[in-house]
Amino acid sequence: MKFWDSSAIVPLLVDESASEIMRELLKADSEMVVWWASRTECLSALHRRMREGNIKAAEETQVQNILSVLSGAWAEVLPTDFVRQRAERLLSVHALRAADAFQLAAALVWSKEATAGLEFVCFDDNLCEAASKEGFLVVPRT
């Protein structure tokens, strides 16, 4: 089981240079843990790509169906005061945006802060660095 940031989920939905790597990671271990807002973050990324013309209207239904299947199977870390407290601590020690702090806080809550050997799947450089400093094994290694 791995914690997946939304930056790693999007390549499962649309063709990107990292799509094949992400599909292989998911194939090897299909148990995903995500932050409660990850579905919304993915939809935001998809709609931005549509506005930019990178996803055609004909592809929208297919992409949203893939997201529905994934989100129906993954486990979510729900928003709690404890997650918010962890996110606020992370903002004070890492160069993170609020949304990324919530992602990492969710992973820390999921792991019960015992991060050694647990994988954090991500492509955001700042979030990868922070997750690594918090003890996660960040994948894929780029």
Interval 76-83 mean pLDDT: 98
- The CATH number that applies at residue 42 is 3.40.50.1010
Interval 113-129 mean pLDDT: 97
In sequence order, the β-bridge partners of residue 137 are 119
Selection from 81, 117, 118 nearest residue 3 by Cα:
118
Q: Per the structure block, which two tokens stand in for 74? A: 């993954």
Residue 142 pLDDT grade (very low, low, confident, very high; cuts 50, 70, 90): low
Residue 60 pLDDT grade (very low, low, confident, very high; cuts 50, 70, 90): confident
pTM confidence score:
0.94
Burial of 76 (0-12, 13-18, 19+ CB in 10 A): middle
pLDDT of residue 4: 98
Query: The domain containing residue 112 runs over which residues?
Result: 2-139
Q: In what order do the strands lie in the sheet with 137-139?
A: 75-77, 32-35, 2-4, 119-121, 137-139
Interval 12-38 mean pLDDT: 96
Has residue 87 got a pLDDT over 70? yes
Under DSSP, the state recorded for 119 is E
Please give the C-alpha separations between residue 99 and each of 5, 27, 40, 106, in angstroms, as whole numbers. Answer: 10, 27, 11, 11
Using the structure block, give the residue that is written with the tokens 């799509």. Answer: 19
pLDDT of residue 128: 97
Residue 141 pLDDT grade (very low, low, confident, very high; cuts 50, 70, 90): confident
pLDDT of residue 58: 81
Interval 84-92 mean pLDDT: 98
Selection from 2, 12, 75 nearest residue 42 by Cα:
12
Q: Per the structure block, which two tokens stand in for 16? A: 């990107």
Count: domains in the chain: 1
pLDDT per position as a tens digit, 123-137: 999 999 999 999 999
